[in-house]
Structure 1
């Protein structure tokens, strides 16, 4: 078994919640894609950006939403999850901007106040964790409202997404091994 995937069923529940939040973030981000990043690829703006995957994920989310044939109660939970996620995403962007501004101001000082920077980072991290938990709770409430057939549809979509993520990670690991890893084809000999 892949060492990354080892763990308890709690890991799978957390991963499913994280993916639900991921799907929700992509859905809320919509077409809000900013110009290209340093590598020339389109990048989503703000923290937790989609690096050009926003429109593709939107299509997948819209297709999934349509396949679920939600009841009015389920649709309300979907909308509540989206609203929670959008609100929390904006709060995270504001926190990120606050941290960026503090760092910018700190750079103007002759001596950095690392304690203050760390304290702000920790505060923002705690706020971010709380926002992530609120968003995950809203998406899990939506998921829990689904019937078995709808959960199967969502589960199939999530499993396909997990497989694609695993494949991408494996390709990245292989690339790293070839170019930087021990015994890789691209590794440079070390000086004696």
Structure 2
């Protein structure tokens, strides 16, 4: 498989994982707009529940859906625990008069490798689920993903426009001086 095709497959698998439920596994911890348990989480949960209902899964497909959700939730919790541990280690390192950048780099590399493995496990679980769907169900998932991607692109464009406007306004007074 070519490198471009391999990257495309990886991006598609990641999109499937994200599109089918990355936020679904988020546990409410701090209610508020945009935060876990906030409007974005609730909205995504509604979309996930709606997609789940539209798919009309048979018993085997439902098992695969549940297995993917369980894998995703467990891996997300492991990632959170790893992040917290790394944060604590960094705080400890900051107490040293001379930072050990090699240790910091090694810690970061290890965390990235662990997270990559967890993402691969989650993607594999969602791909197993997706591969068990019939063409009608895959069309429903594909449509949902395309809509999700379009929304992401719209948000990206709005953020980019805001950033350009903000940077343009910030640099204009400096240019007049």
- Band of TM-score, shorter chain: 0.7 to 0.9
Gap regions ≥5 residues in structure 1: 1-7, 46-50
Larger RCO, structure (CA 8 Å, separation 6 or more)? 2
**RMSD (Å) for aligned C-alpha atoms:** 2.3
Instruction: State the distance in 1 between where 2:166 and 2:76 align.
Output: 36
Query: How far is the alpha carbon of 1:107 from its aligned partner?
Result: 1.3
Gap regions ≥5 residues in structure 2: none
Counterpart of 2:52 in structure 1 is: 65
Residue 98 of structure 1 pairs with residue 85 of structure 2: yes
Counterpart of 1:34 in structure 2 is: 30
Note if contact 1:33-1:52 (Cα within 8 Å) is conserved in structure 2: no
Counterpart of 1:19 in structure 2 is: 15
1:59-85 CA distance string (max 9 Å, x none): 100010011000111111111111111
Structure (1/2) with the larger helix percentage: 2
How many aligned residue pairs are there? 173
Counterpart of 1:187 in structure 2 is: 171
Q: Equivalent of 1:113, from 100, 103, 109?
A: 100
Counterpart of 2:133 in structure 1 is: 146
Residue 44 of structure 1 pairs with residue 44 of structure 2: no
Instruction: State the distance in 2 between where 1:100 and 1:142 align.
Output: 34
Query: How far is the alpha carbon of 1:128 from its aligned partner?
Result: 0.4
What is the DSSP-based 3-state SS (H/G/I as helix, E as strand, rest coil) of the residue aligned with 2:35? strand
Instruction: State the distance in 2 between where 1:190 and 1:115 align.
Output: 42
1:24-72 CA distance string (max 9 Å, x none): 2222225x14145xxxx44129xxxxx7521111110001001100011
What is the DSSP-based 3-state SS (H/G/I as helix, E as strand, rest coil) of the residue aligned with 1:44? coil
Query: How far is the alpha carbon of 1:127 from its aligned partner?
Result: 0.5
Counterpart of 1:5 in structure 2 is: none
Q: Equivalent of 1:85, from 66, 69, 72?
A: 72
